[in-house]
A and B are shown apart, each in its own frame.
Chain A
Amino acid sequence: MRAEWGARLLVVLGAVGLAVLTVFAVRVPADAVELRGRMADDGGWTPGAIMARVGEPLTLRMTSDDVVHGFAIGQSARPAVDLLPGAWITTTVTFDQPGKYTYYCTRWCGPNHWRMRGTIDVAGPGMRAPADSVPLFLRLKLDLDQAHPSDVVPTETPAAARADGLLAAVALESGDLRTQSPVQVWRTLRKRPANTGLTDRQLWDEVAAVWRAATSPERLAEGRRLYGDNCAACHGETGRGDGVMAKSLAAGPAANSMVGEHTGMPGMSGHGTVAPTDFTNRRNMLGASAAFLQGKIIRGGMGTGMPYWGPIFTESQLWALVDYLWTFQFDYGSSAGSSAASRTKRDSASKPATRPH
């Protein structure tokens, strides 16, 4: 009889102990938001919208359900976090200003990678800091859908190294360079009586020097990094519009759309796609101003498949990216350090090997 009671006690103690252990073993911050990443075609982020309050830490417990994704918050300096299938990662974010923030995937996860975005609504006291100044293209009232061919094009890549740079100062006097296309500056230089002795090619080299003087190696490096992470998959590592995703984009309207194919009117739905822009095309690029290019990046392509990056990049990141785009047109020489021509490939051979799993 006593032995039986002892056995019963053992069973009850075991059951209670197991329950207590379970609670401790899988303890998760009580207020953690579980965030799962999936390819955009399979649903993207779950949940797609998160609420938070100013000053209160928001804990995110994240994983991926299919392939490698990344998590980052737009216009924030917080580094991106990689989400690996089968692994949970916890991060805490605190917002000090109310507003609407965009979180987005940072690792290419298919042609619709860029659609993988969600929003965090941060409520609370305080005013949202005045939004970034109105983008230049809006202040200039630029029509981003207008063709912008350059009627004069150089026969070879203008090289800043060949120019003496004397004209750079002159050109800079003629107003904000970001609002002018290279061909406009070239015309300004051409019209000056002092330049009649210079050939067209020499003047193009001067334009390249003017453009190089307006940027810095640091900004070009930053632009190059952003381009590689976000643009090269479609526009190509060499800027020719021949990236690995380009094939599916050129396949015609609605090839990748999630809406267009159902409406049967891809052109009308604004979900069609066209081949990515070739940044090495002189006629097209030399007729565009930096403000115009920045506008395109902020707003996106409207029915071309080009995503809108307004909520993602900061003002300075946008200008760095535009600065880098000019390296597909101008040869800044090795002093610039990051011209498209002198790109080196990442060599990961020295890193420890990642075993397949």
Chain B
Amino acid sequence: MKRSRVITTALVFALGAGVVAFAPLPGASVKPANRRFRVEASSFKYAPATIKANVGDHVTIDLVSTDVVHGLYVDGYDVSVTADPGRTASLSFVANRAGMFRLRCSVTCGAMHPFMLGKLHVGRNDLLWRALALALLAGLVGVSLAPMRGVRT
């Protein structure tokens, strides 16, 4: 009897986990917009370091270098731009891939150049929310099964 209850609980939670991990979320149907960001690059940081867009947005980044020649490369999109001080350079692309992507400096700009990073967030961070929900579910499994094990011993 108890054994079958454990199996039932496990099955229910497994199903729940499947739903949490793979169920299509109601997409926030936002109309694609034109987004323009002005990003100032100095040794060795971007300001702002984080930019956000919705999936489908037409993103334009105006890169302004304030000391030496800097670049900006967007991981995942494979686009880049280089800006000299005094010459604002623009980078345009359609943010059609959801997720978090690294911005990196693409021009060697000094000793700390490899650590000149930024972030591009496209859309809602589904992965994070799903992971959180799964963790919660795992916790519930633990709580609901633990007393039964206690009974058995």
Chain A residues with CB under 8 Å of chain B are: 39, 66-68, 84-86, 107-111, 228-229, 231-234, 237, 243-245, 345-349, 353-357
Q: Is the CB of B89 within 8 A of A348?
A: yes
Min C-beta distance of A131 to chain B, whole Å:
30
Chain B residues with CB under 8 Å of chain A are: 40, 62, 64-69, 71, 73, 78-82, 84-93, 104-111, 114
27 sampled A-B residue pairs with Cβ under 8 A: A39-B68, A66-B111, A67-B108, A68-B109, A108-B65, A108-B84, A110-B68, A231-B86, A232-B86, A232-B87, A233-B85, A233-B86, A234-B86, A237-B86, A237-B87, A243-B86, A345-B90, A348-B81, A348-B89, A348-B90, A349-B91, A349-B93, A353-B78, A353-B80, A356-B80, A356-B104, A357-B106
Q: Is the CB of A356 within 8 A of B85?
A: no
Min C-beta distance of A67 to chain B, whole Å:
4
**Given A67-B69, A108-B68, A345-B90: A84 in contact with B84 (beta carbons within 8 A):** no
Q: Is the CB of A110 within 8 A of B67?
A: yes
Q: Is the CB of B85 within 8 A of A355?
A: no
Q: How many A-B residue pairs have CB under 8 A?
A: 105
A66 CA to B62 CA, complexed, in Å: 25
Q: Is the CB of B67 within 8 A of A345?
A: no
Q: Which residue of B85, B104, B106 has the most chain A CB atoms within 10 A of its CB atom?
A: B85
**Given A86-B108, A354-B73: A67 in contact with B87 (beta carbons within 8 A):** no
A42 CA to B106 CA, complexed, in Å: 23
A86 CA to B90 CA, complexed, in Å: 27
Which of the residues A66, A244, A348 comes within 8 Å of B110, measured between beta carbons? A66
Min C-beta distance of A238 to chain B, whole Å:
10
A353 CA to B104 CA, complexed, in Å: 12
A335 CA to B71 CA, complexed, in Å: 34
A232 CA to B64 CA, complexed, in Å: 12
Q: Is the CB of A349 within 8 A of B88?
A: no
A66 CA to B106 CA, complexed, in Å: 14
B residues within 8 A CB of A232? 86-87
Q: Which residue of A86, A229, A346 has the most chain B CB atoms within 10 A of its CB atom?
A: A346
Cβ-closest chain B residue relative to A82:
B69
A residues within 8 A CB of B114? 356
Q: Is the interface of A mostly helix, strand, loop or mixed?
A: loop
A240 CA to B109 CA, complexed, in Å: 27
Q: Is the CB of A347 within 8 A of B92?
A: yes
Min C-beta distance of B65 to chain A, whole Å:
7
Min C-beta distance of A250 to chain B, whole Å:
14
Given A39-B68, A231-B86, 6 other A-B residues pairs in contact with their CB atoms under 8 A = A107-B69, A108-B68, A233-B84, A244-B66, A245-B86, A353-B73
Min C-beta distance of B66 to chain A, whole Å:
4
Q: Is the CB of B79 within 8 A of A353?
A: yes
**Given A109-B68, A345-B62, A348-B91: A244 in contact with B86 (beta carbons within 8 A):** yes
Cβ-closest chain A residue relative to B77:
A353
Cβ-closest chain B residue relative to A232:
B86
A residues within 8 A CB of B71? 354, 356
Which of the residues A111, A231, A349, A354 comes within 8 Å of B106, measured between beta carbons? A354
A residues within 8 A CB of B91? 347-349
Q: Is the CB of A108 within 8 A of B85?
A: yes
A349 CA to B106 CA, complexed, in Å: 14
B residues within 8 A CB of A349? 79, 81, 90-93
A residues within 8 A CB of B80? 348, 353-356
A185 CA to B17 CA, complexed, in Å: 82
A residues within 8 A CB of B62? 345
Cβ-closest chain A residue relative to B92:
A349
B residues within 8 A CB of A108? 65, 67-69, 84-86
